[in-house]
Chains A and B, each alone.
Chain A
Amino acid sequence: MNGFTGNEIIHQYLRHNKKFPHVLCPGCGHGIVLGTLIRSIHSLELPKDDVVIVAGIGCSGRLAVYVDFNTVHTTHGRALTFATGIKMANPKLKVIAIMGDGDALSIGGNHLIHAARRNIGITALILNNSIYGMTGGQSSPATPEGAMTMTNPFGQLDKAFDTVELARGAGANYVARGTVFHVKKLEKVLTDAIGRPGFSIVEAITPCHTQFGRKNKYKTPVDMYKWLKSSAMDVERYNELPEDKRAGRMPIGVFVQRDREGFEELYYQRQAKFLEKVAKGGK
């Protein structure tokens, strides 16, 4: 054997007729997230035909093209809107929306909060690398305060969005955060999210050394992974830390766990009741 465990799983899910190689930079974390997603889907034993991957625009948006599911590469920021239509049209499908931080939090911010409020049965997988990668390294709503980007000659002035707090406030059923350094944990929360009813959000922190690291003292991919290793900590431990020790630390794990029925389930249930009433001659 070649010594790589899990290789066979990946091969089952890659598109044999797609021209490789992929568009991602060496050292990019996006491939790790995609591998994690495939293992999650595999462990849930979901048939390929039942899975729809809807992606937005940017580096993360390109992931959909490589995997052998029903895949839809949408317009910038609108992945969740397409996903909503797909899920409502055919609730049997398992719909996963892959988005970048710009996709999900900036141009698609309104769709994110409303998908969460509506609690529609979609898993939003947000690949957060704190930067607009494909367009050349401009600030994103997840760029940390003070970080250097192409559009911030003085360092980022405004504060970064906290995806978890945003999702919690908007009413998402399930909210978790992981990193590509803590792959097993990421896989666990992602599997959990996909397996649940209602709207779930998983934020995957993934490094972009090309556009973000280079300008912010993380020159190599290794520097960035070391940063993930040193800054991320379990949310339970994080919550026990005194306020002054929290600076620079990033909690990971499960933040919100509710079990409300998905919007599409409620819709079809209510419709069935209504039709039954009509059949009986009611109004």
Chain B
Amino acid sequence: MARRKKRKEIFALGNEAVVEGALLAGCTFFGGYPITPSSEIMEIMAARLPKIEDGVFIQLEDEIASMGAVIGASLAGRKVLTATSGPGFSLKQENLGYAIMAETPLVLVNVMRGGPSTGLPTCPAQGDVQQARWGTHGDHPIIVLSASNVQECLDMTVTAFNMAEKYRTPVILLLDEVTAHTREKIEIPNSGEYEVFSRTVPSMPPEWYKPYEETVRGVPPMPPLGSGYRFHTTGLTHDRNGFPTQRPEEVEELVERLHRKIDQFFYDIQLVDTVMTEDADIVVIAYGSVARSAELAVQQARENGIKAGLLKLKTLFPYPRRQQEKVMATAKTLVVPEMNMGQISREVKRVNTGRASVRTINRIDGQIVTPSEILKVIMQG
């Protein structure tokens, strides 16, 4: 067997790792508008994309236009990325809903900053968790991922693209400022090393094709615009042909399928890492840079003879319910540290339903959650 080619190592920012991941996943289109702390993603894309054949970088007039442009490009067959931060994320919401309804794959990176409003431009925060889930109107599923270190920024970006293409849906990658602006050594996988998934295109003749037909996976094949499959794309509730409808049975069928295509693949979508949870009495549930503080706190707790563990959420939505239930088999206490007033602890409590005691650590002052803060709460039991 040939020896595996050594991976290239670079010293990179989290935002830079996102770009590496996107290019690895086959992204050839970036549309965006600058906003801190996400701007490096755009700047590096501006330098990198023109070096790829057919790679398109475009700076749009605003966040809304950026979102529209990436949807358009995705409809035309590209793998697309846009990046933003808090206020820009709010502006993108309407078109995000469109992408969900029209089943358009895209990856949206939101490097969170404190809010509300223009808030804390370059301070770490995790205030957009529930906005990512419920920011756009109506009943819809959504995939929200996060990363806690620079290597994960790369890996999770590849995962985000794969999920977007696999399930024909927008995928949101939530980073916090600490992760996005930390510089670490990372390994760039060689091409072919990671699985890269692309959307299924129709194989039937164009006249047989129905753009929103039921399939086994619930995900209809998607041809690029201009390839001979002419159909109507709309944000209105539509029938299997893509035409607007208000018939109750057709409306129900569509919305149910949108949910089902995500729901039946929870095992593929809900990603977590666990650290010493098998016998843990106390489990910390954390995500983003806070998970790194939590990991150190858990190790220190173990050194002090306390059976602590960490459930690190890499997928925030659909919320990894089963994985939490698994740690609750032994854990009597759950500790949820986060840089907001309690946006994931809501989910933790929802799944918990009074079985374990849930303790929260919340910072909203633009400062990170430190290991000692978490350790203090763990030691209190």
Write the residues of chain A forming the contact surface with B, with a CB cutoff of 8 angstroms.
15, 17-19, 48-50, 52, 54, 64-65, 68-75, 78, 80-90, 92-93, 110-111, 114, 267, 270-271, 274-275, 278
Alpha-carbon distance A281/B73, docked complex (angstroms): 31
Whether the Cβ atoms of B233 and A72 lie closer than 8 Å is yes
Whether the Cβ atoms of B233 and A93 lie closer than 8 Å is no
With A69-B230, A73-B236, A111-B61 known to touch, is A85 a contact of B50 (CB < 8 Å)? no
In the A-B complex, list the 4 residue pairs whose CB atoms are closest, starting with the nearest: A85-B72, A81-B68, A85-B69, A89-B76
Stretch at the interface among B52-60, B285-293, B335-343: B52-60
Whether the Cβ atoms of B68 and A74 lie closer than 8 Å is yes
Whether the Cβ atoms of B68 and A92 lie closer than 8 Å is no
Q: Cβ of B51 < 8 Å from any Cβ of A?
A: yes
User: Which one of B51, B78, B231 contacts A278 once the chains associate, using CB atoms below 8 Å?
Assistant: B51
Q: List 26 A-B contacts (CB under 8 A).
A: A17-B241, A48-B230, A49-B230, A70-B225, A70-B226, A73-B236, A75-B98, A78-B64, A80-B68, A81-B64, A82-B69, A82-B72, A84-B60, A85-B31, A85-B73, A85-B76, A85-B80, A89-B77, A89-B78, A90-B77, A90-B224, A92-B226, A93-B76, A111-B61, A275-B53, A278-B51
Residues of A within 8 A of B31 (CB): 84-85, 88
Give residues of chain B (24-51) contacting chain A, Cβ–Cβ below 8 Å.
29, 31, 50-51
Alpha-carbon distance A19/B56, docked complex (angstroms): 38
Alpha-carbon distance A75/B230, docked complex (angstroms): 20
Q: Cβ of B273 < 8 Å from any Cβ of A?
A: no
How close is B95's CB to chain A, nearest CB, in angstroms?
6
Q: Is the interface of B mostly helix, strand, loop or mixed?
A: mixed
Alpha-carbon distance A68/B207, docked complex (angstroms): 12
Residues of A within 8 A of B72 (CB): 54, 72, 81-87, 89
Interface residues of B, CB < 8 Å — how many?
45
Extra pairs beyond A68-B230, A85-B76, A86-B73 (6, CB < 8 Å) = A65-B243, A73-B234, A88-B31, A88-B56, A111-B68, A114-B60
Whether the Cβ atoms of A50 and B226 lie closer than 8 Å is yes
With A65-B232, A84-B58, A275-B51 known to touch, is A89 a contact of B68 (CB < 8 Å)? no
Most buried by A among B55, B72, B234, B243: B72
Alpha-carbon distance A48/B232, docked complex (angstroms): 13
How close is A268's CB to chain B, nearest CB, in angstroms?
8
Q: Cβ of B71 < 8 Å from any Cβ of A?
A: yes
Alpha-carbon distance A93/B232, docked complex (angstroms): 16
Q: Cβ of B62 < 8 Å from any Cβ of A?
A: yes
How close is A105's CB to chain B, nearest CB, in angstroms?
15
Residues of B within 8 A of A52 (CB): 225-226
Q: Cβ of B187 < 8 Å from any Cβ of A?
A: no
Residues of A within 8 A of B243 (CB): 18-19, 65
Q: Cβ of B318 < 8 Å from any Cβ of A?
A: no
User: Which one of A65, A72, A114 contacts B65 once the chains associate, using CB atoms below 8 Å?
Assistant: A114
Give residues of chain B (117-153) contacting chain A, Cβ–Cβ below 8 Å.
none
Residues of A within 8 A of B65 (CB): 78, 80-81, 84, 110-111, 114
Interface string of B63-91 (1 = CB under 8 A from A): 01111111111111110100000000000
Q: Looking across the interface, which residue of chain B has its beta carbon closest to that of A23?
A: B244
Alpha-carbon distance A144/B233, docked complex (angstroms): 34
Q: Looking across the interface, which residue of chain A has its beta carbon closest to that of B234?
A: A73
Whether the Cβ atoms of A88 and B69 lie closer than 8 Å is yes
Q: Cβ of B213 < 8 Å from any Cβ of A?
A: no
Q: Looking across the interface, which residue of chain B has its beta carbon closest to that of A81?
A: B68
How close is A12's CB to chain B, nearest CB, in angstroms?
13
Whether the Cβ atoms of A71 and B58 lie closer than 8 Å is no
Q: Looking across the interface, which residue of chain A has its beta carbon closest to that of B65?
A: A81
Alpha-carbon distance A83/B224, docked complex (angstroms): 14
Alpha-carbon distance A15/B55, docked complex (angstroms): 34
Whether the Cβ atoms of B51 and A85 lie closer than 8 Å is no
How close is A215's CB to chain B, nearest CB, in angstroms?
28
Alpha-carbon distance A80/B58, docked complex (angstroms): 14
How close is A198's CB to chain B, nearest CB, in angstroms?
16
With A81-B67, A86-B73, A89-B78 known to touch, is A73 a contact of B235 (CB < 8 Å)? yes
Interface string of B190-229 (1 = CB under 8 A from A): 0000000000000000000000000000000000111110
Q: Looking across the interface, which residue of chain A has its beta carbon closest to that of B239?
A: A19
Residues of B within 8 A of A49 (CB): 226-228, 230
With A84-B68, A86-B73 known to touch, is A70 a contact of B231 (CB < 8 Å)? yes
Whether the Cβ atoms of A110 and B230 lie closer than 8 Å is no
Alpha-carbon distance A71/B233, docked complex (angstroms): 6
Whether the Cβ atoms of B70 and A85 lie closer than 8 Å is yes
Residues of A within 8 A of B67 (CB): 81
How close is B145's CB to chain A, nearest CB, in angstroms?
23
Most buried by B among A65, A80, A84: A84
Q: Looking across the interface, which residue of chain B has its beta carbon closest to that of A263?
A: B58
Residues of B within 8 A of A82 (CB): 68-69, 71-72, 75
Residues of B within 8 A of A92 (CB): 226
How close is B53's CB to chain A, nearest CB, in angstroms?
7
With A73-B235, A88-B73, A267-B56 known to touch, is A110 a contact of B62 (CB < 8 Å)? yes
Q: Looking across the interface, which residue of chain A has its beta carbon closest to that of B233?
A: A72
